[in-house]
Every structure is written in structure tokens, then in C-alpha cells.
């Protein structure tokens, strides 16, 4: 076993604190990675607080991982020691169900191994990236362009792919009016990709102070959702709304902003069940849809696209010990636009 250290929550009401644990030995197809940066996703906070139920502890969060290969199994061909690599939300899956065969591992119908708060295929618990070392099967490790700023690459592994995948699935691009609801980690990546794909992008935000940032990210328009007049002026306007809001919220005001055949794509995962008036989708043949991260092939495609188009996240680097300062600011909507932990400070 490999001795490792990280920041773990021991139960849903205790704070993250230093914790020593073990990683498995490097198998023939495994890659051992010295973690250098890990992004802070709002899902990390949802899960250590058990917002979604069923959480298992001790829990080490973190699924936006970038680091350097320190050891590779005898059969590993795709990377060498010393190379930068990345790991996202998944570390394994059943590999044989219909979805796994199509590269949609995130929708594995048998046993998906998420990077933390989950189990390996052998049933042992998984531990995430707020740690110094991880050992992952090569099929779930991504290569990254070393031309990019590695701390700013980390958030692509969740925030990036989570918005890239639905934009590709619904073929959002030229001629489409895209609304990005919530300008946080996911939202700011949605603006970058939406603009790169040729859509007209509007940010819908509760924070008027983010307007200049939204425009700097490339957004064409900015709308304050708490301003009734501004909301009224956008009625029936959008083809797509990408909903990245992390807190419980109403849906009806946003369904009113969709044009006929428009689609409201939910990415945010607040804890409470959602309600909305069915008439608000029936009238106008509108759709309410959802999307979960992205599969392994699409995640590599996204990373390659980012390398080709110089797209990375806007990040604020933090020390591990300041994680609760970051969480507090994230909950207040004051994230500009992804906190990333410098793992050298662990
Ligand atoms: P984040 O950085 O905290 O951004 C969320 C944004 O939502 C905030 O910055 C804020 O933007 C807006 N917001 C927050 N509270 C709000 C409220 N009460 N009403 C309206 N808007 C509010 O979070 P994130 O990391 O981007 O994650 C967003 C959500 O997506 C989380 O629930 C997370 O668990 C989920 N998620 C889902 C997937 C998936 O695969 N589907 C993947 C990753 C994360 P404004 O200031 O602009 O209003
Ligand atoms: Zn995430
Ligand atoms: Zn499967």
C-alpha cells in the first residue's frame, strides 16, 4: 500500500481536516500521480455536507485533479513518468454496459466508480483529489497540453466538461441564443465555450457586480434576474438555458424566457425536489432536461479542444488550510471563477 495524506471529513457535520490513508499499489494498468492542483467544485461542498443523501465517510473530496506521473504500471503505454496528466469525476466503470461501450461512462448502469464518495469496482472506497497522491487505471487518466497553465486546467475536469458535454449534445452554436444561468465555476466555462461555439451568450445572474466580468469572458448580454423589468424584456428569447445554480430556485421565471421549442438544461444539483408549472413547458413545446459531466472520450476531446483554442478556467489559487474561506465565498456567489488548491500547501 502507498501511504498518502489528504483533507477528509469524518462525518457530515465535521469540517475537513488532515487525514492519513492508503492508496493501492500500482497495478499493471495503473498510473500513480503526484497531485499538484485540485479545483474546488460546489459538488465537493454538497457531498461533504451530504446534501444528496447516502454519503460515505471518511470522505476526501476533489475531482478536478492535475498532477505529474510518478510511476506507471508495466502495461501502461500512454504516459511516462514526469508527464502532466489529469483525472476528473470518474476513476472506473463497469466497461461492459451499453453506456460504457458508447463512452458514456458517467451513465454506467452497473457500477460507476466516482473519484470520491463512491467505490472502486472491487468495492473499496474511493478518495478524491484534496490529497497528495492518487492511483488510477490508465483508461481514466487524461493527457493535457503542457502549454497551458496547469492550475487553470484543473477546473476543466469537472466545470469544463459538465458544460461542454450538453453544449455539444444539443449542438449549441451559431444562430442560437444561449442563456447561462449563474456565473460561477460552471457558468464561466459555459460562457467561454458558448462564445467559442458561435452562440449569442447572455449571462443571467443574481449579482449585478459580475456584469463587467461576464462581458470580459465574452458574453454578449447580461441580465440581472432579480430585476423584474429586465426579466420581462427577455420573455420568449432564448433557445437554451444552461442552469448552473447550486441553490434551490424557482424554474417558472426562466421557462418564460424560452422561445417555442426551447430547452432548459439543468446542471446544478440543489438538494430539494424541483417544482414548476407543467403548462410552462406544454405551451411552447419546451423541454426540461438534465446532463451529468461527460464521458471519458468526450472529456479528452474537450481537453484537446481547450489546448487548441487556449481555453482555461479563471482561477484563484488557495492554500489547503484556507478551504473554508473558499467554501464560504462560493456559497455567497463570490467565486471568480474557480478556487483551485495548490497541493504543495497540503
Ligand atoms: P458555483 O461556482 O458556486 O456557482 C453557482 C452560481 O449559482 C453562483 O456563483 C451564483 O451565480 C448562482 N447562485 C448561487 N445561489 C443562487 C441562488 N440562491 N439563486 C440564484 N442563483 C444562485 O458552483 P459550481 O461549482 O459552478 O456548481 C454549480 C452547481 O452544479 C452545483 O449544484 C454543483 O453541485 C452542480 N454540478 C453539477 C454537475 C453535473 O454533472 N451536472 C457537475 C458539477 C457541478 P450568480 O452570482 O451569477 O447568480
Ligand atoms: Zn464537480
Ligand atoms: Zn457500465
3 state DSSP class of 192 = helix
Q: Which atom of ligand 1 is nearest to the CA of 204?
A: 47
C-beta neighbour count of 213 within 10 angstroms: 19
Strands (E), the chain: 2-8, 17-23, 30-39, 65-72, 84-87, 90-92, 113-114, 133-137, 142-143, 177-181, 200-205, 221-224, 238-243, 258-266, 287-290, 315-318, 338-342
pLDDT for residue 118: 98
- CA distances to 3, 85, 208, 302, 307 from 216, rounded to whole Å, are 44, 29, 14, 22, 20
The C-alpha cell that represents 306 in the structure block: 481547450
Which residues, other chains included, contact 204 with Cβ-Cβ below 8 Å and sequence gap of 6+? 179, 180, 181, 182, 223, 225, 241, 254, 257
Rg for the chain, CA atoms, rounded: 20
Do the Cβ atoms of 261 and 286 come closer than 8 Å? yes
218 φψ region: left (φ > 0), alpha (ψ -120 to 50), beta (else) = left
- Given a cut of 50, the residues of the chain with pLDDT beneath it are none
pLDDT for residue 254: 98
Which residues, other chains included, contact 142 with Cβ-Cβ below 8 Å and sequence gap of 6+? 85, 86, 87, 88, 157, 299, 300, 303
Q: Which residues line ligand 1 (CB under 6 A)?
A: 41-43, 46, 158-159, 162, 182-187, 205-207, 210, 244-247, 249, 267-269, 291-293, 330, 333, 335
How far, in Å, is the centroid of ligand 2 from the Cα of 43? 5
Eight-state DSSP code of residue 273: P
Question: How many whole angstroms separate alpha carbon 121 and alpha carbon 125?
Answer: 9
Q: Which atom of ligand 1 is nearest to the CA of 330?
A: 3
pLDDT for residue 141: 98
How far, in Å, is the centroid of ligand 2 from the Cα of 183? 15
Query: What would the pLDDT profile of 191-211 be if each residue is shown by its tens digit?
Result: 999 999 999 999 999 999 999
Q: Is the peptide bond before 266 cis (omega within 30 degrees of 0)?
A: no
Pocket test for ligand 1, best of 184, 189, 225, 254 (most atoms within 8 A of CB): 184
Do the Cβ atoms of 314 and 156 come closer than 8 Å? no
The C-alpha cell that represents 267 in the structure block: 446542471
Burial (0-12, 13-18, 19+ Cβ within 10 Å), 13? exposed
Query: What would the pLDDT profile of 213-272 be if each residue is shown by its tens digit?
Result: 999 999 999 999 999 999 999 999 999 999 999 999 999 999 999 999 999 999 999 999
How far, in Å, is the centroid of ligand 3 from the Cα of 63? 20
How far, in Å, is the centroid of ligand 2 from the Cα of 41? 5
Three-state SS string over 80-127 comes to CCCCEEEECCEEECCCCCHHHHCCCHHHCCCCCEECCCCECCCCCECC
Element (H, E) at 167: helix 159-169
For the chain, give the mean pLDDT. Answer: 98
Do the Cβ atoms of 262 and 241 come closer than 8 Å? yes
Which residues make up the environment of ion ligand 3, defined by Cβ < 5 Å? 93-94, 97, 100, 108, 110
3 state DSSP class of 265 = strand
The C-alpha cell that represents 78 in the structure block: 500512454
Question: How many whole angstroms separate alpha carbon 58 and alpha carbon 71?
Answer: 26
pLDDT for residue 327: 98
pTM, to two decimals: 0.98
In order of start, what are the domains of the chain with their CATH numbers? 2-158+294-345 (3.90.180.10), 160-290 (3.40.50.720)
Angle, helices 159-169 vs 296-309, to 10°: value is 100
Do the Cβ atoms of 265 and 181 come closer than 8 Å? no
C-beta neighbour count of 293 within 10 angstroms: 25
How far, in Å, is the centroid of ligand 1 from the Cα of 43? 9
Question: How many whole angstroms separate alpha carbon 190 and alpha carbon 115?
Answer: 23
Which residues, other chains included, contact 328 with Cβ-Cβ below 8 Å and sequence gap of 6+? none
The C-alpha cell that represents 135 in the structure block: 492511483
Amino acid at each position: 500500500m502507498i501511504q498518502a495524506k489528504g483533507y477528509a471529513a469524518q462525518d457530515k457535520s465535521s469540517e475537513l481536516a488532515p487525514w492519513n490513508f492508503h492508496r493501492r499499489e500500482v497495478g499493471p494498468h495503473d498510473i500513480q500521480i503526484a497531485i499538484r492542483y485540485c479545483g474546488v467544485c460546489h459538488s465537493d461542498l454538497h457531498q461533504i455536507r451530504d446534501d444528496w443523501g447516502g454519503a460515505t465517510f471518511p470522505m476526501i473530496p476533489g475531482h478536478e485533479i492535475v498532477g505529474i506521473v510518478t510511476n506507471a504500471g508495466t502495461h501502461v503505454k500512454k504516459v511516462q513518468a514526469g508527464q502532466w496528466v489529469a483525472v476528473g469525476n470518474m476513476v472506473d466503470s463497469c466497461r461492459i454496459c451499453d453506456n460504457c461501450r458508447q463512452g458514456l461512462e458517467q451513465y454506467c448502469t452497473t457500477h460507476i466508480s466516482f473519484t470520491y464518495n463512491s467505490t472502486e469496482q472491487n468495492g473499496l472506497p474511493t478518495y478524491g483529489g484534496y490529497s497528495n497522491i492518487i492511483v488510477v487505471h490508465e483508461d481514466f487518466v487524461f493527457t493535457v497540453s503542457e502549454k497551458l497553465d496547469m492550475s487553470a486546467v484543473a477546473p476543466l475536469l469537472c466545470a469544463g466538461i459538465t458544460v461542454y458535454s450538453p453544449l455539444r449534445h444539443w449542438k449549441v452554436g451559431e444562430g442560437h441564443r444561449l442563456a447561462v444561468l449563474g456565473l460561477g465555476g460552471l457558468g464561466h466555462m459555459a460562457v467561454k465555450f458558448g462564445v467559442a461555439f458561435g452562440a449569442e451568450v447572455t449571462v443571467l445572474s443574481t449579482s449585478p457586480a459580475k456584469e463587467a466580468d461576464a462581458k470580459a469572458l465574452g458574453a454578449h448580454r447580461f441580465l440581472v434576474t432579480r430585476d423584474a423589468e429586465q426579466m420581462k424584456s427577455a420573455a420568449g428569447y432564448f433557445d437554451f438555458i444552461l442552469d448552473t445554480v447550486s441553490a434551490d430556485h424557482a424554474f417558472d421565471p426562466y421557462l418564460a424566457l424560452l422561445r417555442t421549442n426551447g430547452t432548459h438544461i439543468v446542471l446544478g444539483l440543489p438538494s430539494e425536489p424541483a417544482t414548476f408549472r407543467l403548462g410552462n413547458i406544454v405551451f411552447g413545446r419546451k423541454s426540461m432536461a438534465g446532463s451529468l459531466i461527460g464521458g471519458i472520450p468526450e472529456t479528452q476531446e474537450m481537453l484537446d479542444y481547450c489546448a487548441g483554442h487556449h481555453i482555461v478556467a479563471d482561477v484563484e489559487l488557495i492554500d489547503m488550510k484556507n478551504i473554508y474561506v473558499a467554501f464560504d465565498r462560493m456559497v455567497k456567489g463570490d467565486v471568480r471563477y474557480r478556487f483551485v488548491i495548490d497541493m504543495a500547501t497540503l
